[in-house]
């Protein structure tokens, strides 16, 4: 069901709350998270992947409330720092349902993971094997997985493709790297290798790369059995499921993905004479992305012979994605109805560089003026989690909407917050 409703007066409601009212009461920019949408997306994954573990990738966005919703909906969590891990566990998230990732885990990451009893540590490089084994206490056994790069190039942008061999993550299937690491892992009495992991990339809209990954990982499982007599029981396919940022964009349907992956897994395992391992998936963006919307206020407009610039009170500090990956969004005027015809606009931020562009060449009413509100949908993933305080602009607040009411989850970063860290003179 559509939770975003536009009323005839031009006001946009999310979760039963008018976005312009939230802009008034919380100021702008303001990030709004639709609790029911997050929960629905979690449930859609649970339904699509029965018998599998679905771990929300916390890097997309995490705050205490979101961790709590995800936990209540029965998902696990994928974290990649002590910070994400501690936030989740202090919110009551069961540590055994959490996976720790990272190509360069800090001593603190590992200490925190072992202290809190994280469910799995995903080993990302050969050097980590001895390092983690040495950190595990006597008589204890930490469950680990091994991240491999299956030699697949997939994903919406070169910067988020992680399945090919020549990059910083994981162990390559080529040249026996992954096999060698498995042999070493199996010889570690304080580690228990439960399975294999891969993450192909992000914003993938096609199921085929996942099917190829299943075949290659099952192949490695078969070689592991042949070489060591060990049958690995888990296969983690990572996340990366693409979503639509604009009407008409392609998205990856979790149900279709689940169907095809399960069929491929069954077939590959039957072919290899292996039992079907427990499947794990790690969607981030697909859970929180579409549940978020950001509201900005227009501060200035300017026409050049080439372009119509609409400048808002946020920008690359709260959403670095257009600058980093050239992502396209669909901003819209909210809070009033305009009878003016559309005009191609360039929505820019307030920061001191020309590359601070939020949306290029998008239709907006030609009478957009300072004081107007613009909403940018699909803002729930990789905006605030990647936000900075560039130009000493405080990071925006997060407000949850549910059943017609808004509630503040994360307050705005103040100048006092920013100055508190500046302790020298
Ligand atoms: N699992 C692992 C091991 C990952 O590294 C990631 C994302 C995910 C799961 C979740 O991927 P998702 O389902 O959210 O695509 N900042 C970029 C995306 C970076 C993704 C990093 N890893 C962006 O804004 O597009």
Ranges in the chain annotated CATH 3.20.20.10: 35-287
Query: What is the distance in A from the centroid of ligand 1 to the CA of 284?
Result: 6
CA distance 107 to 101: 13
Q: Are 171 and 199 in contact (CB under 8 A)?
A: no
Q: Quick one: the chain helix, strand, coil %, rounded to 5? A: 35, 25, 40
Q: Are 39 and 73 in contact (CB under 8 A)?
A: yes
Ranges in the chain annotated CATH 2.40.37.10: 4-32+289-420
CA distance 186 to 196: 13
Binding residue per annotation — 56? no
Query: What is the distance in A from the centroid of ligand 1 to the CA of 201?
Result: 7
Reading the block at residue 201, the tokens are 């990339």
**Residue 198 among the catalytic residues:** no
Which ligand 1 atom sits closest to the C-alpha of 385?
16
Residue 158: pLDDT band (50, 70, 90) is confident
Residues in the chain: 425
Q: 4-32+289-420, which class in CATH?
A: mainly beta
Tally the C-alpha atoms within 13 A of residue 351's C-alpha that lie toward its C-beta: 22
Binding residue per annotation — 210? no
pLDDT of residue 167: 83
pLDDT of residue 1: 41
Q: Are 228 and 182 in contact (CB under 8 A)?
A: yes
Each residue's pLDDT tens digit, 215-242: 999 999 999 999 999 999 999 999 999 9
329: helix, coil or strand? coil
pLDDT of residue 2: 52
The two beta strands, 405-410 and 398-402, are antiparallel
Q: Are 102 and 80 in contact (CB under 8 A)?
A: yes
- What is the best residue among 240, 380, 387 to mutate for testing ligand 1's pocket, by most ligand atoms within 8 Å of CB? 240
Residue 84: pLDDT band (50, 70, 90) is very high
pTM above 0.90, yes or no: yes
Among 42, 80, 269, 352, the one annotated catalytic: 352
Q: What is the mean pLDDT of residues 364-369?
A: 98
Q: Taking all residues of the chain, what is their mean pLDDT, rounded to a whole number?
A: 96
Task: State the fold for domain 35-287.
Answer: TIM Barrel (3.20.20)
pLDDT of residue 160: 80
Q: Where are the beta strands (DSSP E) in 198-341?
A: 234-236, 278-281, 292-303, 308-312, 332-334
Name the strands in the sheet holding 4-6, side by side, starting at the edge strand that comes first in the sequence. 4-6, 12-14, 17-18
Binding residue per annotation — 35? no
Residue matched to tokens 């050969």: 126
pLDDT of residue 60: 98
Reading the block at residue 246, the tokens are 């604009």
Query: What is the distance in A from the centroid of ligand 1 to the CA of 281?
Result: 12
**Which residue, judged by its Cα, is nearest atom 23 of ligand 1?**
382
Residue 244 host element (H or E): none
């Amino acid at each position: 069901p559509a939770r975003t409703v536009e009323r005839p007066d031009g006001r946009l409601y999310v979760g039963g709350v008018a976005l312009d009212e939230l802009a008034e009461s919380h100021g702008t920019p303001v990030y709004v998270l639709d609790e029911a949408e997050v929960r629905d997306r979690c449930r859609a994954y649970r339904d699509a992947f029965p018998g599998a573990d679905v771990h929300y990738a916390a890097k997309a966005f995490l705050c205490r409330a979101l961790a709590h919703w995800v936990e209540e909906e029965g998902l696990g969590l994928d974290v990649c720092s002590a910070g994400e891990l501690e936030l989740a566990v202090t919110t009551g998230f069961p540590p055994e349902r959490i996976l720790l990732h990272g190509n360069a885990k800090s001593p603190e990451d590992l200490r925190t993971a072992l202290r809190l009893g994280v469910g799995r540590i995903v080993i990302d490089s050969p050097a980590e094997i001895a390092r983690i084994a040495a950190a595990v206490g006597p008589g204890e056994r930490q469950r680990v997985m091994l991240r491999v790069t299956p030699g697949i190039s997939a994903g919406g942008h070169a910067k988020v493709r992680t399945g090919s061999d020549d990059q910083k993550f994981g162990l390559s299937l080529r040249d026996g790297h992954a096999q060698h690491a498995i042999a070493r892992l199996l010889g570690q009495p304080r580690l228990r290798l439960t399975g294999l992991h891969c993450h192909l990339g992000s914003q993938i809209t096609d199921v085929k790369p996942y099917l190829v990954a299943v075949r290659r990982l099952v192949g490695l499982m078969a070689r592991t059995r042949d070489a060591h007599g060990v049958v690995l029981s888990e296969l983690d396919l990572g996340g990366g499921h693409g979503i639509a940022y604009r009407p008409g964009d392609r998205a990856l349907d979790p149900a279709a993905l689940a169907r095809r992956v399960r069929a491929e897994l069954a077939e590959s395992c039957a072919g290899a004479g292996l039992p079907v391992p427990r499947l794990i998936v790690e969607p981030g963006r697909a859970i929180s992305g579409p549940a978020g919307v950001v509201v900005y206020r227009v501060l200035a407009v300017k026409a050049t012979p080439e372009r119509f610039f609409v400048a808002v009170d946020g920008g690359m500090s709260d959403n670095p994605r257009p600058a980093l990956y050239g992502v396209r969004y669909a901003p819209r005027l909210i809070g009033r109805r305009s009878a003016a015809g559309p005009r191609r606009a360039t929505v820019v931020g307030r920061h001191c560089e020309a590359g601070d562009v939020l949306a290029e060449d998008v239709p907006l009413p030609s009478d957009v003026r300072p004081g107007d509100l613009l909403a940018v949908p699909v803002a729930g993933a990789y905006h605030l989690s990647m936000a900075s305080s560039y130009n000493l602009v405080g990071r925006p607040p997060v407000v949850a909407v549910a059943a017609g009411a808004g509630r503040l989850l994360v307050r705005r970063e103040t100048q006092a917050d920013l100055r508190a860290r500046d302790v020298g003179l």
